[in-house]
Amino acid sequence: MKLISLDIFFITGCLVCSTAGSRGVFKEQGVQVSTEWSTFQIQGSNNESRDIVLCSLRNKFKRHFCSKAHALAEKIENLKKNKDVLGKNVDAVNMSLLKETYSVLRTAYYLAKNNRPFTDHKTLVELQQLIGVKMGHILHSRFSATNIIESIVKEMLRSIVNNIVSSSSKLAVLIDEASTLSRKTTMIVNIKASVLGEPPEFIFLDLVELQDQTSEGIIDALMSCLTKAGFTEEWLKQNWVSFVSDGASVMVGKHSGVSAKLKKRFPKLLTWHCMNHRLELAVSDAVDKVTAINHFKIFVEKLWVASSFRTVRAVWTSFTALVRHFEKASIDDQRNYTERQTYRGLCDRLKSPEFLCDLGLMYDTLHELSIVSEELQAQTMTLLRADLLVKRAIRVLASFKTQPEEKLSAALEAKDHGTLKSNPKIKYINTEEFLRSLIDSLQKRLPFEEDILKDLSILDISRWPSEPGIRYGEAEIHRLCACFNLCTDQNCMQTFPVSTAECKRGFSLMNTILTNKRSVLLVSNLMMINLNGPPNSLFNPEKYVQSWARHHRTANDPRSRQCKYDDR
């Protein structure tokens, strides 16, 4: 046997014996690999002569390479290499046999992705068989479709979470509450993190039924959900950077709220109140402070400024039609006296310059705020961009004091040249007072003065001074690295969500999926497919089929009874 040159060994030892590991079934009596050889601790002679030391090592190498222990280690290594080839060949054979199961999984995935009832599964399988597609002879029932979707969701979630955990991506968690058809309070849990090194994206995690709506109950349910998904508390302490919720007192309470208690448990966590909710509260505060705006409170909802703007826009767009309708209704003899008087009062209110000017002011103001509200709901929105949007909106609203916007200008022109009749029961909204109150509320409700936000602004080059110093931003970067355990993570700034709008989208989907005939236990799986799953055309069932085949029977398993279809 040839002797291997000395430079193959990192120190002095046998690489083959060290990587062979356990001998397993190849164990022989009296044959054992020396610990010194497998751990690279072989030394030459203690003689000072280099030639004598090398000669001693050569003799040891020769005896070792000719030993039964080394030959056994080489045999194990060769078997490992052949095993990899054999495994690939077995997988290739299995793939050819699993094509029918592929088709069944694609059919079940189509049903979940398109919110179709699982009772359609058998019909779709039968249809594909009629056109020549091989679908096997089992896994054709709605119960099989349910189990298939559950298996796909588990594998999909496991893959996502394992990638996040292994790459130590920074994690943001968003939660919101709502009631289901059974009137039970449900908490939706979304996360935002970088997957496969891509920019951070929102991921639906789970739909959790709350047994206790106290802060402790919510925290227990949340931590149980995160642990079940695969996030350990030790990992969360290192990588959980943001928690976002709505403005309910149980969530943002200063001492006993969910945010406060999570902050004590995870000191580096940035807790954040949804900016869309803050915006609604700011508008509500301004409306409450200005008494002359009482007749417009019916248009200003406390949820989503964009919805309030659409209401005001509908009144403005249909103003002429509404006036004509009220005029006709006020003289309609088929209506009783009370109804006619009600319509007459509404008509007089709409035809007054006070109402028209106030409508124009509310239109312009809510239009600007609705733009901000819709921008804040964007999935790519960051804290720094949200800061710029809010400050820009405040500057625009301040300009309305001296230069009226389009709709208010049109209303003032109609007041001067039209035939509007003043209504003494209505008072004009003081434009300057209303705008000042609104701006103050926005500045109070939407502050960006926290140190962490100032430090994050250093990552935005557009905010740098024209001639920054050589060490500009160094202290802020050090604080960010210390706070969030950062090294060169460029995606951290994009990980911080500004709104729980993604949770609202999830609840909207839940209401679409959840019917009185749909099992509540399946809703979370269907939401996972809808929100996180790829389109039908891009769905690759290969890894899901492998996972399914390890624990279930395939579509052409000969041990199962063949499905029979009634002749129609």
For the chain, list the domains and their CATH numbers: 6-94 (no CATH), 96-157+520-551 (no CATH), 170-276+494-513 (3.30.420), 277-448 (no CATH)
Which two tokens mark 285?
A: 């505060």
State the pLDDT at residue 51: 76
pTM for this entry: 0.73
What is residue 419's predicted lDDT score, i.e. its pLDDT? Answer: 73
- Is 485 in contact with 238 (CB distance < 8 Å)? yes
pLDDT at 417: 81
What pLDDT score does 245 carry? 92
pLDDT digit of tens for each residue in the chain (568 aa)? 333 444 433 346 777 777 665 544 445 545 666 777 767 777 766 666 777 777 877 888 778 788 877 787 787 777 666 655 555 555 565 666 688 889 999 999 999 999 888 889 999 999 999 999 988 888 999 999 999 999 999 999 999 999 999 988 899 999 998 776 556 788 999 999 988 888 899 999 999 988 888 999 999 999 999 999 999 999 999 899 899 998 888 998 888 899 999 999 998 888 888 988 888 888 888 888 877 676 666 555 555 566 788 888 988 999 999 999 999 999 988 899 999 999 998 888 888 888 889 889 989 999 999 999 999 998 888 888 888 899 899 999 999 998 998 999 998 888 888 778 887 878 888 889 889 999 999 988 887 656 666 666 676 666 677 777 777 677 767 666 666 655 544 566 678 888 888 888 888 888 888 776 666 557 888 899 999 999 999 998 888 888 887 777 777 777 777 776 654 4
Predicted confidence at residue 1, as pLDDT, reads 38
Nearest to 525 by CA among 191, 157, 186, 140: 157
Per-residue buried b or exposed e for 124-158, using 16+ beta carbons within 10 Å of the residue's own CB: bbeebbeeeeebbbbbbeeebbbbbbebbbebbbe
Instruction: Say what the pLDDT of residue 524 is.
Output: 87
pLDDT of residue 422: 84
pLDDT value at position 31? 60
The pLDDT of residue 95: 63
Which pLDDT value is given to residue 521?
A: 57
Helices (H), 98-200: 99-113, 120-130, 142-166
Q: Order of strands across the sheet with 171-179?
A: 201-209, 185-193, 171-179, 240-245, 270-273
Distance CA 43, CA 11 (A): 9
Give the pLDDT of residue 6: 42
Nearest to 369 by CA among 312, 285, 434, 306: 306
- Identify whether the C-beta of residue 322 lies closer than 8 Å to the C-beta of residue 315: yes
Indicate the residue type of 128.
Q
From residue 48, give the alpha-carbon distance in Å to each of 53, 54, 55, 115.
8, 11, 12, 81
In SS3 terms, 347-398 reads as HHHHCCHHHHHHHHHHHHHHHHHHHHHHHHCCCCCCHHHHHHHHHHHHHHHH
CB–CB of 147/121 below 8 Å? no
| Kind and range of the H or E run holding 178 | strand 171-179
Q: How many CB atoms lie within 10 A of CB 532?
A: 16
Give me the pLDDT at residue 440, please: 92
What is the reported pLDDT for 7? 40
Q: What local confidence, expressed as pLDDT, does residue 328 receive?
A: 92
Q: Distance (Å, rounded) from C-alpha 282 to C-alpha 287?
A: 9
At residue 299, the pLDDT reads 55
Q: Quote the CA–CA distance of 431 and 407 in Å, as a whole number.
A: 13
Residue type, 126: E
